[in-house]
Structures are given as C-alpha cells and as structure tokens.
Structure 1
Amino acid sequence: MSHIPPETGKTAAPLIEVRSIDWVPENERRGKLWHQGPLWFLGNFQYFSIPIGFIGPSMGLSLGWTIVASVLGIAVGTVFMAFHASQGPTMGLPQLIQSRAQFGYRGVIVPLLATLFTYMAFNVADTVLLSEGLGSSFGWDPTLIAVLATVAGAGLAIFGHDWLHKAFRILLYISLPVMTILTIGVIAGAAGGTWDATQYGFSWQGFMAQFAACAAYNITYAPYVSDYSRYLPTNTSARSVIAAVFFGASSSAIWLIALGAWLTIALGATDGLAGLQTAGNTIFAPLGDAAALLSALALTATMGMNAYGGALTVLTTIDSVRPIKPKTTARVVTILVLALAWYLIASSINSGAVATVFSALTLMLYILVPWTATNLVDFFIVRKGHYAIADLFTPNGIYGAWGWRGLTAFGIGLLAEVPFMVLPTIGGWSYVGPAAAALGDVDIAWLIGLAVTSVAYLLMGRSLDLTAEETERRRSDEHLASKDPEGDHK
C-alpha cells in the first residue's frame, strides 16, 4: 500500500480542528488506535439503536429470531464499515475524497449527494427521536429539546475530530456501568414484563426486514468511518483498525437492539427512551431516568459526528465543482447551515419513531450499497490500496474528472436493486418491486445491489493501466513529502 514518507515532530492539537477535506501529513497523525473502539462503541450505544429492535417484533418476529437476525445483520454491515476504516491511516483523507479515484474528481458528486442525504436523514431522525423520547419520558417541550440537541450536535462538530473522540469516551465511561446494571436487571427478571408467545414467531419478511435494517445501520457509517481514522499514523496495522472498529461498533449495537426487542415485546414499548426509563426504574429508581438521559446525550453526540461528516461532504462537493482552499471558517459555516436545515426538516415530520427509523435506514441502504461495493472492490482488489493522493485534488490527474467505471457500476447496481425493493410508506407513498412481491415482500434488494455492483466494477477495473498509475503514485508521494506540513497539499 502507498505510504507517504513521514515528517519529523508532532504538532500540538488545536482547540478547533484546522484540517478539513485536505490530506493529513504524518506529523499531525496524533490519533491512537485504542480510541477507535470506544468511539464506535458509543456511536451505537445510544437511543437510535433501541427502536431498531422494534422492527422485527412489529412484524410478528419473536425475541429469539429478532436477536438472530440482528446479530447477523450487524455482523454483515460492520464488516463493510470496518474495512472502510482501514483506509484512513493509509490515505490520510476523508472517505469521499478517496472515492474520486473510482468516480472521478467531478463524478464523485453522485455518491456525495447520496451520502449527504444519509447524514441529513440520520440527524433528522435523531432529532425526531429525541423530541418524542424525552418528551414522552420527562414531559419536556419537544421544540426546546430539538433546538438544544441541534445546537449541541453542531457545536461538537465545530470543535472537530479530537473533541468528538474525547466526548465519546467520557460518555462511554459514564453510561457503560448504568446500562450494564440495567441489562443485568432485565435478564434477572427485575424489570418485569410479560408477553403472549403465540403472538410472535418466525416469518421471512420480518426476519429479512430486521436483518436489512441492522446491516444498514452500520453500513451507513461507511462513508465517514475513515474520517475518524485518518489521524492514525500511516504504519498502523490495517487488521488492528478493522478489529477495533468491528468489535466496537457491533457489540454495542447488538446489545441495545436486543434490549429494544425485549422492551417492545415484554413491556409493549413504542418509544425506546420511555421503555428504557420504565424498565430501569422498575429495577430501582432513578436507574431508568439516568439510562434514558445518558442514551439521549450519546445520540446527541452522534448527531455531532453526522454533522462533521456532512460538512466534509458538502465541502468536497463544492471543491469538485470549483477547487477551494478549505479553511476552518468554511467548515464552521457549513455545519451551521446543515444544522438549520435538519432542524427545519425534523420540525415538519409527524411520523412515529419506528416508522422514521425504518424508512431512513431502508433508503440509506439502497443508496449506499452500490457506493460501498465500488469503493471496497477498488481499494482491496483492483488497486490494492495504491493511490496517487495528489491526483485526487485535480480534475487533470490520472483519475480524471469523470470516472466512468465507478459511475457505471454504481448506476448498474442501483438499477438492479429496483425490482427487489420494498420501500416503506413515506409521505403516503410506498413501493414493492415485482421480484420482491414474488418473494412475499422479502427485501433482498441491497444484497442484489452489492453483488451486481461488485462484479460490474471488477470487470471494468481490468481495463485500468495500473503500471502508469504506479509511476504517478511515486511522483505523488515525492511531491507530498517535499511540501511544508502546514502548506497547501494540493
């Protein structure tokens, strides 16, 4: 894999992050591998994870089968996420900048727009969940909750990479003991709850819906997971990064999704936060109140993570149309604009928490799978991690303005999904593809998209002139190594 020669000395971390969509030189690689596990553990150790466990039971799936589907779905989705994380130390770039190698300097706008939708959909859904959950649990004003969550998430994103890592670790240290005690109480039967086993069983529709939602949950981290590993030293072991991210992101998600399934089946919870509060306070008060508040705070921190990635996506989009020198001010202004946008959209949504979560995850999965397949096949199979980083910042480089291979594979994969799609009701409109209808409304669209996109890009990638690219890569490495660490790396 390509390695940029290291520079000597380490710069001190600024209060507000200076870097944006530019390359991170070796002397600024102050990240630590062990930070990855806590970051991604808490990334899923929050309120959003709980109602994902409601999806299977809402279709009649039993607790046992819901947990099986969730474990399998999370495992599959996290594999893709973790492999993307390993690209951060190698490239020292935000994820979507790296995608210019597959889609071209300007062509990357296509997956950029899809990714921006993901960030916004998550923060809109998060705002709705927090407003409904805290309003239901504590009787607080939903509008005030939405405003405070938006301000806090945007503020954390503005301070940037290092502060996001710190905030996530602090929240994890506080919330882990509380959730552990609550979960032990549930397992021991101290949280109460009963259910009629005849109401729940097995169905392929419910199993695949739960499986797909769980796979989507961590696949949706893929477009920005390497944004948080790009400050790791270049020589960081790829296997270590993959393992840290996989176990961090998967274990917490499985934990809370399984707990969510129990809450809806045993307690009849329709809101994850209220269910968490009821179960905890039944064990002993104020355990439930503490668990609900900490889960809400963790979700607010995750909104900051989404806002940070969303800002990088917007700046990359602008840079792909008209090259810019990314400054701190541009990143801050972009975050504030995004925060206003997701708050206004969330304020206009009246759908319930489960519907909001399921609809958002389904759409994100359909859109992101063709991108993740293209990116991973290129990185690990076609180009094997060898990239000319300097050429990613110009439309005149070896990757060109429009990467027809990546764009074609993305389009083919997305079209292949359509007959197999099972879109949930959104604004009174829904869609079930003919192939999905023949399968009894079982949703396998994303699996079809994954396979078709991978094969398509692999076949088209055979026409690349990798020898010429290797020559340019060496030239790029020499160019970056000669640059002043604080200078322009374009």
Structure 2
Amino acid sequence: MNAHENAGLAAETAGLEIESRSIDYIPERERHAKLSSQGPFWFLGNFHFFTISIGFVGPSMGLSAGWTTLGGALGIMFGTIFMAFHGSQGPEMGLPQMIQSRAQFGYRGVALALLATLFVFVGFNVVNISLIMDGLKNVFGVNPSVVAIVAAVAGGALAIYGHDVMHKAFKWALIATLPLYALVTIALAFGAGKGAAPIAAAASGAGAHLGFNWVAFLTQFAIGASYNISYAPYVSDYSRYLPKHTSRAKLISAIFLGASLSGAWMIGLGAWLAQQLKASDALVALNQVGASLFPGCGSLLVIVSVAGFLPIIALNTYSAMLTLLTGVDSFRKIKPTRRARIGAVMTISAILLACTLSIKGNGVALLNTFLVLMLYFLVPWTAVNLVDYFFVRKGRYAISHFFTPDGIYGAWQARGIAAYLIGFASMIPFFAIVDNESGKEIFVGYFAHLMSGIDLAWLVGLIVAGATYYVLSRSLDLRAEEKVIRTIKESDIVAMARQSAGH
C-alpha cells in the first residue's frame, strides 16, 4: 500500500470519507471492525417498522396475534440460521459474498446468482420505500413522490460512503429507536391506542374472528424465514472487515441473536397492533399509539422510525452496488474505484425510483408477494453456497483464483448452475403466490393446490438444490485444489485482486 492509500485509509477510519474498497479483497491490515459491533448491527437490521409490517400478514389471513408471533418467530430463527452461517464466511474470506460464489458458479456463471440477488436488493427497497410513502401520506399527507426521492437519495448517499459510515448510522439509529419501540410495546400491553380508529383501512381479515389455520401459520413462517434468508447474499459484506481469525462460533451467535431477537419482537408487535387496533399500516399504528400517550409522541415515533430506517435502504443499495459491479466485472474488467461505486449507486437508485413510482398497490400486500418471490429465488443459491462452504470445500478456497476466469474455478461451473436450476424447477409445483389484498391466485402449483395453498416450495428447494450440488461435487478433485491453496499467500491474493482491477 502506498503513502496515498495509507493516508486515505486513516482518513476513512477517522472521518466521513468514502470507503476505498468495494468488490476487492480486504487485506488483514485493514480489518478494523470488531466482533462486538455485529450483534447490534444485525439487531437494528430487523428493528424497524418494516418488520412490524410482516406481523400484519398473519392477522390478514385470519391468524391470531399469538399464533402470528409464534409462526413469525420460528420463521425468523430458521432464516437466521442460514444468514448467520453465511456471515461467518466474511472474516475467513475477506470478500463480498457474491465474489465467493464464483467457486460454485464460475467467474461468469455467477451472473445467474447475481441476477437473483440483484432482484432481491432492488425489490426490497421498492417495498421499503412504498411502505414509507404509504405511511407518511396517511399520517402527514406528504406527497409520495417527494418521499420516494428523498428516501432513495438519502439511502444512496449512505451507500456511497460505505462500510464505516453505515455502521455509525446503524448505531445511532438503534440508540434513537430502541427506547421508543420499548415504550410502544409497554403501552400496547396496557391497551394504548384503542380509543381511535386507524386512518388506513383495516387489513382484510383483521376485523374478523382470529384463530388458527395451517395455511396462514405456514405462510407467516415462510415469510419470516425468507425475510432473514434475504440477508444471506450480503451478510458477509458487513463482516469481511473482521480479523481473519475471529471466532466462527461467536460470530454466528452474535449474528443469530441480534437478527432473530429483534425480528421476533417486531413481528410480535405488528401482530398485536393488527389484532388490537386492526392496523394495516405500521407508521399509522405507531402514530396512533404514540398520540394516545402524550401530545406529539405519535409524530415523533413516525419521524424517528423513518429516519432510523434510512440505513436499511442504504444496506440494500450498498449490496446492490457490490452485486452490480461484480456482474459487470465478470464479463468486462472494471476498476473498483470510488467513481465506479458512485456510478453504480446512482444507477441503482434511478432504477429503484422508476420501479417505486410506477408500481401501485397496498404496501403490505406488495410486501407479502415480494417476500414469497424472494424466497424462491434465494433458496437454491443459499443451499448451494452453504453446502459447498461447509460440506464440500469446508472453507478452503484459492482466493486469488476468484479474480480470473482462467483460474481453478473457471468461467462457468456446471455443478452450481445445474444445482440451482434443478432446485428452482423442483419448487415450481409447490409455489403458492396469492394476492392477499384481493385473495386472487397469481400462481399456485399442483402440489400447493393439493395442500390447500400451503407453501412448502422453499423447503423443497433447500433440500433438492443442496443435495444435487453435494452429489455433483463428489467428482471434484479437492486434493488438486488443496495443493494450489497451499501455495497462495495473502500478498498473492492482493496482487491478483489489483491486477484484476486493472491497477
């Protein structure tokens, strides 16, 4: 590293400088993150009104708050298992998650997984901003288009600054939102907010008798699981600055506890808001509960909730930027400079705005449909990646070979691509995509029809994709790979990454 880079790193660590790294390897000397930051970071990842909205899904399908809380909590914990194990790859590899996926799909073949994850990142932010637009319009009457532009620009700005600034933003957002959401939870337990009718229409089914049914319970479970599985493609993007020898068990525990505790709490809070207040809009419900406590509290809750949510929009934009740059680099060499990241963030933000302003409909219904679709795209990838990392190659990779199509992983890896496609195809007869707002079936597969709409596609995809990849990988010459790995030093990895970037 030259003097200019050393000065840049020092400034980056001390102030609000744009992160210098993007899709390249993080050398040991730059691993300045701490394990203690991971739990709070991922706690806030679910500690916001978006997760509260997930708790509305069960009651909208006739499920009681208690059963919704249980189904959501179990789903969140199930999804967090996959998320946490992906997160443990960050310090060991020092790479963004999708660069590491070149081992399973090939230098160019990873484009298949990149398309799926890019859909998730952009789609998540479309739903995020749609919920903010609905909430602020219902509470304050703010123009939705203005809200969309401000939210996209703010999230994009944080994403441009990158890792360190985003961690700081998450820290301050947690400090601001934790006492307020704790207050809402306690107030709701004592019946706050029941005196006034919600501004938004009640969720369908929320005003009827709520009890238990398997379709609603398993749908709530699947949505909770997909919510945290959605972090799988980018959780290691935020753990790759940890020292290489960070305890895997401690890191997995920190990510699991942080993400699952806040997720279960917020889904439970949403379920009780839906049952007791017949709420269908999280920001409207928070405003109603706050207004019943003291004047101005409702507005404060809404404003802080939206401000505290902007780092989440940045999180998705940041990882979408890494994904886009990885995809372009897989076919045409690019320099991962600050200019490249700014251009990628601006492109993604423009696409995000175009999608958000063109899509119409109820935010919660859009949320439900998107989370189901997202799970379908991500499940085969996460199965292939984790089976390869923990059962096939067991964390042993020739990292420098990720940066060239001529390395041991090649341009295309038929095993990973075939396992993904076979896993996805096996899920189709089990798909259950329904518009909860109208009750209209969008696509319900043959077996889902036989099971009265119960969606087990995600489970089928996990098993089939993972098992297929494991069987196909039996023919890998791991001894030859190990010989290559033993010859590689960190200086080789840094040199190859720089050469790949055209430096």
Shorter-chain TM range is over 0.9
Letter paired with 2:313: M
Cα gap change, 1:482 to 1:431, in 2 (>3 Å): closer
Q: 1:18 aligns with which of 17, 20, 26?
A: 20
Tell me the secondary structure at the aligned position of residue 12 of structure 1: helix
The alpha-carbon deviation at position 385 of structure 1 amounts to 0.3
- The aligned counterpart of 1:161 is 163
Q: Please list, as runs of the form range in 1=range in 2, the aligned pairs for 1:107-126 lying within 5 A after superposition.
A: 107-126=109-128
Q: 1:46 aligns with which of 37, 40, 48?
A: 48
Between 454-463 and 163-172, the greater mean CA deviation after superposition: 454-463
Asked whether the equivalents of residues 333 and 500 of structure 2 are also in contact (C-alpha less than 8 Å), the reply is no
Q: 1:189 aligns with which of 184, 188, 191?
A: 191
- The aligned counterpart of 1:376 is 386
Asked whether the equivalents of residues 182 and 283 of structure 1 are also in contact (C-alpha less than 8 Å), the reply is no
Q: 1:75 aligns with which of 70, 74, 77?
A: 77
Letter paired with 1:192: K
Cα gap change, 1:13 to 1:417, in 2 (>3 Å): farther
Separation (CA, whole Å) in 2 of partners of 1:145 and 1:134 = 8
The alpha-carbon deviation at position 478 of structure 1 amounts to 5.5
1:432 aligns with 2:444: yes
Q: 1:467 aligns with which of 472, 476, 479?
A: 479
The alpha-carbon deviation at position 307 of structure 1 amounts to 0.4
Cα gap change, 1:305 to 1:269, in 2 (>3 Å): same
1:308 aligns with 2:321: no
Q: TM-score, normalised by structure 2?
A: 0.92
Separation (CA, whole Å) in 2 of partners of 1:33 and 1:288 = 35
Asked whether the equivalents of residues 43 and 298 of structure 1 are also in contact (C-alpha less than 8 Å), the reply is no
Residue deviations 1:44-98, cap 9 Å, x none?
A: 1112111111111111001111011011100000110011000000000000000
Asked whether the equivalents of residues 102 and 109 of structure 2 are also in contact (C-alpha less than 8 Å), the reply is yes
Asked whether the equivalents of residues 178 and 290 of structure 1 are also in contact (C-alpha less than 8 Å), the reply is no
1:414 aligns with 2:416: no
1:448 aligns with 2:460: yes
Separation (CA, whole Å) in 1 of partners of 2:91 and 2:452 = 44
Q: 2:333 aligns with which of 295, 305, 323?
A: 323
- The aligned counterpart of 2:97 is 95
Residue deviations 1:113-139, cap 9 Å, x none?
A: 000000110111111111111111122
- The aligned counterpart of 1:130 is 132
Q: TM-score, normalised by structure 1?
A: 0.94
The alpha-carbon deviation at position 188 of structure 1 amounts to 2.4
Q: 1:401 aligns with which of 394, 408, 411?
A: 411
- The aligned counterpart of 1:206 is 216
Separation (CA, whole Å) in 1 of partners of 2:208 and 2:355 = 40
1:179 aligns with 2:181: yes
Residue deviations 1:405-459, cap 9 Å, x none?
A: 1111101110010000001349987100000000010001001100111111111
Tell me the secondary structure at the aligned position of residue 24 of structure 2: coil
Asked whether the equivalents of residues 75 and 215 of structure 1 are also in contact (C-alpha less than 8 Å), the reply is yes
Between 116-125 and 197-206, the greater mean CA deviation after superposition: 197-206
Cα gap change, 1:20 to 1:478, in 2 (>3 Å): closer
Residue deviations 1:286-318, cap 9 Å, x none?
A: 332222222212222101010000000000001
Tell me the secondary structure at the aligned position of residue 473 of structure 2: helix
The alignment-based identity, stated in percent, is 49
Tell me the secondary structure at the aligned position of residue 235 of structure 1: coil
Asked whether the equivalents of residues 318 and 345 of structure 2 are also in contact (C-alpha less than 8 Å), the reply is yes
Paired residues, what number? 482
Tell me the secondary structure at the aligned position of residue 49 of structure 2: coil
Tell me the secondary structure at the aligned position of residue 431 of structure 1: strand
Between 186-195 and 326-335, the greater mean CA deviation after superposition: 186-195
- The aligned counterpart of 1:222 is 232
Residue deviations 1:147-167, cap 9 Å, x none?
A: 110110000000001111000
Separation (CA, whole Å) in 2 of partners of 1:196 and 1:294 = 27
1:358 aligns with 2:368: yes
Asked whether the equivalents of residues 393 and 478 of structure 2 are also in contact (C-alpha less than 8 Å), the reply is yes
- The aligned counterpart of 1:231 is 241
Point out 4+ residue stretches in structure 1 off by more than 6 angstroms. 193-198, 426-429
Residue deviations 1:202-253, cap 9 Å, x none?
A: 1111001101110010100110000000000101111111111111111111
Separation (CA, whole Å) in 2 of partners of 1:395 and 1:365 = 29
Letter paired with 1:82: A
Cα gap change, 1:478 to 1:188, in 2 (>3 Å): closer
The alpha-carbon deviation at position 192 of structure 1 amounts to 3.0
Separation (CA, whole Å) in 2 of partners of 1:489 and 1:402 = 18
Separation (CA, whole Å) in 2 of partners of 1:123 and 1:347 = 12
Separation (CA, whole Å) in 1 of partners of 2:19 and 2:347 = 18
Separation (CA, whole Å) in 2 of partners of 1:87 and 1:113 = 21
Q: Please list, as runs of the form range in 1=range in 2, the aligned pairs for 1:230-309 lying within 5 A after superposition.
A: 230-309=240-319
Separation (CA, whole Å) in 2 of partners of 1:52 and 1:401 = 40
Cα gap change, 1:79 to 1:205, in 2 (>3 Å): same
Separation (CA, whole Å) in 2 of partners of 1:389 and 1:280 = 52
Asked whether the equivalents of residues 106 and 411 of structure 2 are also in contact (C-alpha less than 8 Å), the reply is yes
Asked whether the equivalents of residues 176 and 308 of structure 2 are also in contact (C-alpha less than 8 Å), the reply is no
Q: 1:457 aligns with which of 454, 464, 469?
A: 469
The alpha-carbon deviation at position 198 of structure 1 amounts to 6.9
The alpha-carbon deviation at position 488 of structure 1 amounts to 4.6
1:391 aligns with 2:401: yes
Asked whether the equivalents of residues 182 and 287 of structure 1 are also in contact (C-alpha less than 8 Å), the reply is no
Separation (CA, whole Å) in 1 of partners of 2:325 and 2:189 = 47
Asked whether the equivalents of residues 10 and 28 of structure 1 are also in contact (C-alpha less than 8 Å), the reply is no
Asked whether the equivalents of residues 229 and 378 of structure 2 are also in contact (C-alpha less than 8 Å), the reply is yes
The alpha-carbon deviation at position 196 of structure 1 amounts to 9.2
Letter paired with 1:461: S
Q: 5+ unaligned residues in a row in structure 2: which ranges?
A: 1-5, 198-204
Tell me the secondary structure at the aligned position of residue 84 of structure 2: helix
Asked whether the equivalents of residues 207 and 278 of structure 2 are also in contact (C-alpha less than 8 Å), the reply is no
